[in-house]
Structure 1
Amino acid sequence: MAPAGTGDPRRPPPAPAARVLAPAGRISAGAVAAVLAVGLVAPEAWRRWPVAVFLIGLVAGLPHGAVDHLVPGWFRRRPRSAAGRRGVVPLGYAAAAVAVPAAALAAPACVFGVFLAVSALHFGYGDARFCALRDGPAGPARRTAHALAHGAVTTVLPLVRWPEQVRPVVRQLAPGLDWLLAAPARPAAAALAGAAVTAGCVTALRGGRHRQAAELLLLTALFTVVPPLVAFGAYFGAWHSVRHIARLVLADPANIPALRAGRTAAVLRRFGRQAAVPTVVALAALAALTALPHAFPADGRTAARGVALLAALTFPHLVVVAHLDRCEGSAAPGRRGPPAAVRRTARSGRPVTARPPGRRTE
Structure 2
Amino acid sequence: MIRFENVTKRYRGTAKPALTDVDFEVLRGEFVFLVGASGSGKSTCLRMILREETPTDGRVVVLGRDLRTLSNRKVPYFRRHVGAVFQDFRLLPTKTVFQNVAFTLQVIGSSRGFIQQAVPEVLALVGLAGKEKRFPHELSGGEQQRVAIARALANRPQILLADEPTGNLDPGTSVDIMQLLARINAGGTTVVMATHEAGFVDQMQRRVIELRHGEMVRDERHGGYGDTSSLPSLAPEPERGAAAVAALTAVLEVQREAAIAAAAGLDPTDVPDDDEDAPAAAPYRDAVAPAPAPPAVPPAPAPMAADDVAEEPEGEASTPPTAPHTQSIPVQLTEVDVEELGLADRLGLRRDESDGDDEVGPTS
Task: Quickly name the TM-score band, shorter chain normalised.
Answer: under 0.3
With structure 1 as the length reference, what TM-score do the two structures score? 0.24
* Higher fraction of strand: 2
With structure 2 as the length reference, what TM-score do the two structures score? 0.24
* Higher fraction of helix: 1
